Structure 1
Amino acid sequence: MLDRIKASLPSLAPAEQRVGRLVLADPRAFANLPITELANRSHVSKPTVVRFCRSMGYDGLSDFKLKLAGSVSEGVPFIHRSVDADDKTGDVLVKVIDNTVAAFLKYRNDASTTALEKATQALLATYNSGKRIEFFGVGNSGIVAQDAQHKFFRLGITSIAYSDGHMQVMSASLLGPGDCVVVISNSGRTRDLMDACDIARKNGATTIVITVTGSPLAAAGHIHLAANHPEGYDRYSPMVSRLMHLMIIDILATCVALRIGAKLQPLLKEMKNNLRNKRYA
């Protein structure tokens, strides 16, 4: 959590940066002080303290303090163990798994359930109205978008995935009120995805963005699902962040399936029965 705040500081407003520096200076004190004292020590207004917490992806000051206290006390530490050229296979195994497990546990502590609930409700509303759900991503995120389309398709939901920038812009131009687009990006700075997201939002579609906090894309959607993991982009293609995106899609698909309810069971059962014919006995 503290690593995320430190990484996000440059993208925040100057007043919010002062609040962030106060957190980093003494996280335990921040978690226990009242909002008036926090505002005084940061030389900002009380609403600015709350805005900082929301900019970091939390529901408000109370939610931020709760997650901060948990992060400091129970300490699911951020582990980023870089692989080296002379690492043995066993070393690579341990480092890759440690990075992934630590990132997942960190996400469990940091995730905004309010944002996930809003995204679930938006997807469910689109399903109930018979409108379209679309998934946009490029590169590694394009593969996640295809996986998302597969999961929602199995629920009987009209959905499609695009990984080509031109197709995304064309499709976004055809979306309208009631439709929903989920934009997935590791960096949150891909121009094609920004363009498509802006067009879809302008046309009245609900936009859900899965990306890093503080990025341009994070501010472009109606609903931001934060996926924060400081990964070395220069050496290897994103690995842990891609797995986090897949996990978030799994959470959304599961939540939507549960809200659809019992009428989904016969469909899934028939699908399984029909697939049995595709397998050797």
Structure 2
Amino acid sequence: MLDRIQASLPSLAPAEQRVAKLCLADPRAFAKLPVTELADRAHVSKPTVVRFCRSVGYDGLSDFKLKLAGTVNEGVPFIHRSVDADDKTGDVMVKVIDNTVAAFLKYRNEASNAAIERAVLALVAAYKSGKQIQFFGVGNSGIVAQDAQHKFFRLGINTTAYSDGHMQVMSASILGPGDCVIVISNSGRTRDLMDACDIARKNGATTIVITASGSPLASAGHIHLSADHPEGFDRYSPMVSRLLHLMIIDILATCVALRIGGGKLQPLLQEMKNNLRSKRYA
């Protein structure tokens, strides 16, 4: 959570930066102090303290302080440890698993319920009005985009996934109001994805970005679902980031399925399962 605040510093207003620095200097005290005391110490107004909490992705001061307290008091029982060249097989196994668990628990503590809710409402609205839902990603994130398309099309949703930059730009060019595009990027700095996101937004489509806080892409979409983790985006073979993105897609797909309702989905999924039986050995 503190890493996320640090990454967001450059994009905050000067007054909000003072609140952020106060939090980073003593997070335990920040979680306990009343808003009046926080405002006085940061030399800002009380509404500025609340705006800071929302600017870094939380629903408000109460939500921010609750998750901050959980982070600094309980901590995360796993830490990110890089794999070394001389690690034995058992060491690699423990590090890879612990790194993944740490990223998942960190996301659980820091995720913005409000941002996820906004994304789910936009996706459900697109489904109910028969609009398109598209997924964009390149490289490793392109695989996540394909997985997302696979999950959503089974819900009877009109959806496609593109991992080619030219196809993304062409597809974004024909999107319009009511359509949704989910852009997935580990670094948040891929030029093709930025271009496609800008085009889709200009055409009136709702743009949802899954990427790191403080990145250019994070501020390019309508809705930012932060995916922050200790793994550097320049890693040759990203692991934690891919799994974190897949988990966020799972959360969105599950929430959308619940909003659509079992009355519509159950017969569709049952028929799909029946038709697949012939593809398996008895």
TM-score (norm 2): 0.95
Q: Which runs of 5+ in 1 are unaligned?
A: none
Instruction: Report the Cα distance in structure 2 between the residues aligned to 1:119 and 1:172, rounded to whole angstroms.
Output: 18
- Give the partner amino acid of 2:71: S
Q: Alpha-carbon deviation of 1:242?
A: 1.0
Q: What does the per-residue CA deviation read over 1:86-119, in whole Å, with 9 as the maximum and x for residues that have no partner?
A: 0011100000000001111111111111111111
Q: Is contact 1:77-1:106 (8 Å) kept?
A: no
Q: Is contact 2:78-2:98 (8 Å) kept?
A: no
Q: Helix, strand or coil for the counterpart of 1:277?
A: helix
- 1:215 matches 2:236: no
Q: Helix, strand or coil for the counterpart of 1:116?
A: helix
Q: Helix, strand or coil for the counterpart of 2:161?
A: strand
| Aligned residue number for residue 25 of structure 2 | 25
Q: Helix, strand or coil for the counterpart of 1:221?
A: coil
- 1:276 matches 2:277: yes
Q: Which runs of 5+ in 2 are unaligned?
A: none
Q: Is contact 1:103-1:229 (8 Å) kept?
A: yes
| Aligned residue number for residue 162 of structure 1 | 162
Alignment of 1:30-179 (within 5 A): 30-76=30-76, 79-179=79-179
Q: Is contact 1:122-1:180 (8 Å) kept?
A: yes
Q: What does the per-residue CA deviation read over 1:139-166, in whole Å, with 9 as the maximum and x for residues that have no partner?
A: 1111100000000011111100011111
Q: Is contact 1:12-1:214 (8 Å) kept?
A: no
Moved more, 164-173 or 27-36: 27-36
Instruction: Report the Cα distance in structure 2 between the residues aligned to 1:19 and 1:34, rounded to whole angstroms.
Output: 13
- Give the partner amino acid of 2:185: S
Alignment of 1:175-190 (within 5 A): 175-190=175-190
Q: Helix, strand or coil for the counterpart of 1:134?
A: strand
Q: Alpha-carbon deviation of 1:11?
A: 4.1
Q: Helix, strand or coil for the counterpart of 2:259?
A: helix
- Give the partner amino acid of 2:40: N
- Give the partner amino acid of 1:272: K
Q: Is contact 2:142-2:163 (8 Å) kept?
A: yes
| Aligned residue number for residue 205 of structure 2 | 205
Q: Alpha-carbon deviation of 1:44?
A: 2.6
